[in-house]
Amino acid sequence: MKKSLTGLTAAVLLVSSGAASAAEYKIDKQGQHAFVQFRIQHLGYSWLYGTFKDFDGSFTFDEADPTKDKVNVTLNTNSVDTNHAERDKHLRSAEFLNVAKFPQATFVSTSVKKDGDELDITGNLTLNGVTKPVTLEAKKLGEGKDPWGGYRAGFEAETKIALKDFNITTDLGPASQNVELMISVEGVRQ
Protein backbone atom coordinates (compact mmCIF):
# COMPACT_ATOMS: atom_id res chain seq x y z
CA MET A 1 0.00 0.00 0.00
CA LYS A 2 2.68 2.41 1.05
CA LYS A 3 4.75 1.00 -1.67
CA SER A 4 2.24 1.91 -4.27
CA LEU A 5 2.21 5.44 -3.13
CA THR A 6 5.92 5.63 -3.28
CA GLY A 7 5.99 4.40 -6.75
CA LEU A 8 3.40 6.75 -7.85
CA THR A 9 4.82 9.49 -6.00
CA ALA A 10 8.00 8.98 -7.32
CA ALA A 11 7.69 10.66 -9.91
CA VAL A 12 4.70 10.90 -11.85
CA LEU A 13 3.52 13.92 -10.04
CA LEU A 14 6.23 15.93 -11.46
CA VAL A 15 4.09 16.17 -14.39
CA SER A 16 4.80 18.97 -16.63
CA SER A 17 2.78 21.38 -18.53
CA GLY A 18 4.09 24.53 -19.85
CA ALA A 19 5.41 27.99 -19.78
CA ALA A 20 6.07 30.03 -22.89
CA SER A 21 9.15 27.97 -23.73
CA ALA A 22 10.77 24.87 -22.30
CA ALA A 23 12.26 25.57 -18.90
CA GLU A 24 13.77 23.40 -16.18
CA TYR A 25 12.14 23.44 -12.74
CA LYS A 26 13.44 22.02 -9.48
CA ILE A 27 10.77 20.74 -7.10
CA ASP A 28 10.51 23.05 -4.11
CA LYS A 29 10.39 20.64 -1.19
CA GLN A 30 11.31 23.34 1.34
CA GLY A 31 8.45 24.91 3.22
CA GLN A 32 5.93 22.16 2.39
CA HIS A 33 5.40 23.15 -1.25
CA ALA A 34 5.38 19.58 -2.58
CA PHE A 35 3.67 16.39 -1.43
CA VAL A 36 3.51 12.75 -2.40
CA GLN A 37 0.52 11.25 -0.65
CA PHE A 38 -1.43 8.03 -0.94
CA ARG A 39 -4.55 6.37 0.32
CA ILE A 40 -5.81 2.80 0.45
CA GLN A 41 -9.03 1.27 1.69
CA HIS A 42 -8.88 -0.21 5.17
CA LEU A 43 -11.04 -3.34 5.16
CA GLY A 44 -13.50 -1.52 2.92
CA TYR A 45 -14.68 0.57 5.90
CA SER A 46 -12.48 3.65 5.72
CA TRP A 47 -9.39 5.16 4.06
CA LEU A 48 -5.86 4.95 5.40
CA TYR A 49 -3.79 7.99 4.32
CA GLY A 50 -0.02 8.38 4.22
CA THR A 51 2.77 10.44 2.76
CA PHE A 52 6.40 10.20 1.75
CA LYS A 53 8.33 12.95 3.45
CA ASP A 54 11.64 12.73 1.55
CA PHE A 55 11.72 13.07 -2.22
CA ASP A 56 13.35 15.26 -4.83
CA GLY A 57 13.10 15.86 -8.51
CA SER A 58 12.77 18.14 -11.47
CA PHE A 59 10.59 18.70 -14.49
CA THR A 60 10.58 20.69 -17.69
CA PHE A 61 7.57 22.71 -18.71
CA ASP A 62 6.71 23.93 -22.20
CA GLU A 63 3.14 25.16 -22.50
CA ALA A 64 3.41 25.52 -26.27
CA ASP A 65 4.54 21.91 -26.72
CA PRO A 66 3.87 19.59 -23.73
CA THR A 67 5.30 16.66 -25.70
CA LYS A 68 8.74 18.12 -24.84
CA ASP A 69 8.05 17.98 -21.09
CA LYS A 70 10.00 15.64 -18.83
CA VAL A 71 9.59 14.55 -15.21
CA ASN A 72 12.19 12.87 -13.00
CA VAL A 73 11.52 12.07 -9.32
CA THR A 74 13.33 10.04 -6.67
CA LEU A 75 11.58 9.11 -3.44
CA ASN A 76 13.17 7.66 -0.31
CA THR A 77 10.82 4.83 0.70
CA ASN A 78 12.03 4.89 4.31
CA SER A 79 10.29 8.26 4.67
CA VAL A 80 6.81 6.70 4.56
CA ASP A 81 4.59 8.19 7.26
CA THR A 82 1.02 7.19 8.15
CA ASN A 83 1.06 8.83 11.57
CA HIS A 84 1.36 5.41 13.25
CA ALA A 85 4.91 4.23 14.11
CA GLU A 86 4.19 0.49 14.22
CA ARG A 87 2.32 0.52 10.91
CA ASP A 88 5.11 2.57 9.32
CA LYS A 89 7.65 0.00 10.54
CA HIS A 90 5.53 -2.76 8.95
CA LEU A 91 5.24 -0.82 5.67
CA ARG A 92 9.04 -0.52 5.56
CA SER A 93 9.42 -4.30 5.96
CA ALA A 94 9.94 -6.88 3.19
CA GLU A 95 6.16 -7.51 3.17
CA PHE A 96 5.55 -4.10 1.62
CA LEU A 97 8.20 -1.53 0.58
CA ASN A 98 11.28 -3.58 1.50
CA VAL A 99 13.28 -0.42 2.18
CA ALA A 100 16.39 -2.35 3.27
CA LYS A 101 16.72 -3.79 -0.24
CA PHE A 102 15.02 -1.02 -2.25
CA PRO A 103 15.58 2.30 -0.43
CA GLN A 104 14.34 4.43 -3.31
CA ALA A 105 11.46 4.57 -5.76
CA THR A 106 11.76 6.53 -8.99
CA PHE A 107 9.53 7.92 -11.69
CA VAL A 108 10.94 8.90 -15.07
CA SER A 109 8.53 10.16 -17.69
CA THR A 110 8.49 8.73 -21.20
CA SER A 111 5.76 10.93 -22.73
CA VAL A 112 3.44 13.82 -21.95
CA LYS A 113 0.20 14.36 -23.86
CA LYS A 114 -2.27 17.20 -23.51
CA ASP A 115 -5.86 16.04 -23.03
CA GLY A 116 -8.09 19.10 -22.77
CA ASP A 117 -7.06 20.97 -19.61
CA GLU A 118 -5.18 17.94 -18.31
CA LEU A 119 -1.89 16.28 -19.05
CA ASP A 120 -1.40 12.54 -19.29
CA ILE A 121 2.12 11.92 -18.03
CA THR A 122 3.29 8.41 -18.76
CA GLY A 123 6.52 7.10 -17.30
CA ASN A 124 8.33 4.23 -15.67
CA LEU A 125 7.70 3.81 -11.97
CA THR A 126 10.28 1.70 -10.16
CA LEU A 127 9.11 0.48 -6.77
CA ASN A 128 10.15 -2.54 -4.72
CA GLY A 129 12.58 -3.55 -7.47
CA VAL A 130 9.87 -3.62 -10.16
CA THR A 131 9.59 -1.15 -13.06
CA LYS A 132 6.19 -0.68 -14.69
CA PRO A 133 4.62 2.01 -16.88
CA VAL A 134 2.20 4.32 -15.03
CA THR A 135 0.15 7.24 -16.32
CA LEU A 136 -0.51 10.25 -14.14
CA GLU A 137 -3.49 12.47 -14.76
CA ALA A 138 -2.07 15.93 -14.13
CA LYS A 139 -3.26 19.49 -14.14
CA LYS A 140 -1.41 22.78 -14.01
CA LEU A 141 -2.48 24.81 -10.99
CA GLY A 142 -0.67 28.01 -11.91
CA GLU A 143 2.59 29.73 -12.68
CA GLY A 144 4.22 33.11 -12.24
CA LYS A 145 6.73 35.25 -10.39
CA ASP A 146 7.23 34.72 -6.67
CA PRO A 147 7.99 37.41 -4.04
CA TRP A 148 11.71 36.47 -3.98
CA GLY A 149 12.51 37.18 -7.62
CA GLY A 150 12.00 33.64 -8.90
CA TYR A 151 9.47 32.03 -11.19
CA ARG A 152 7.33 29.04 -10.18
CA ALA A 153 4.93 26.55 -11.71
CA GLY A 154 2.63 24.21 -9.77
CA PHE A 155 0.89 20.96 -10.71
CA GLU A 156 -1.22 18.26 -9.15
CA ALA A 157 -1.53 14.67 -10.35
CA GLU A 158 -3.16 11.42 -9.40
CA THR A 159 -3.06 7.79 -10.38
CA LYS A 160 -3.97 4.37 -9.07
CA ILE A 161 -1.61 1.40 -8.93
CA ALA A 162 -2.16 -2.25 -8.14
CA LEU A 163 -0.03 -3.51 -5.23
CA LYS A 164 0.57 -6.89 -6.89
CA ASP A 165 2.12 -5.14 -9.93
CA PHE A 166 4.99 -4.06 -7.65
CA ASN A 167 5.50 -7.40 -5.86
CA ILE A 168 3.46 -6.40 -2.82
CA THR A 169 1.58 -9.63 -2.34
CA THR A 170 0.38 -9.32 1.26
CA ASP A 171 -3.39 -9.90 1.12
CA LEU A 172 -5.11 -6.84 2.55
CA GLY A 173 -8.57 -7.97 1.44
CA PRO A 174 -10.60 -7.37 -1.71
CA ALA A 175 -11.15 -3.64 -1.09
CA SER A 176 -7.42 -2.98 -0.64
CA GLN A 177 -5.80 -4.20 -3.85
CA ASN A 178 -5.02 -0.74 -5.24
CA VAL A 179 -3.39 2.38 -3.89
CA GLU A 180 -4.35 5.87 -5.01
CA LEU A 181 -1.50 8.34 -5.38
CA MET A 182 -1.99 12.08 -5.05
CA ILE A 183 0.86 14.39 -5.93
CA SER A 184 1.15 18.14 -5.64
CA VAL A 185 4.34 19.92 -6.64
CA GLU A 186 5.60 23.44 -7.00
CA GLY A 187 8.77 23.92 -9.03
CA VAL A 188 11.22 26.81 -9.11
CA ARG A 189 12.54 27.67 -12.56
CA GLN A 190 16.28 27.22 -12.75
- For 21-70, write each residue's pLDDT tens digit: 689 999 998 877 999 999 999 988 999 999 999 999 999 999 899 999 99
pLDDT in tens, 69-99: 999 999 999 999 999 999 999 999 999 999 9
Residue 125 CA, chain-centre distance (Å), reads 9
Q: What are the residues whose beta carbons fall under 8 Å from the beta carbon of 20, sequence distance 6 or more?
A: 63, 64
Measured CA to CA, the distance from residue 125 to residue 105 in angstroms comes to 7
At 153, the amino acid letter reads: A
Helix axes 85-92, 2-12, angle to 10 degrees: 70
pLDDT in tens, 118-167: 999 999 999 999 999 999 999 999 999 999 999 999 999 999 999 999 99
At 147, the amino acid letter reads: P
DSSP reduced 3-state for 169: coil
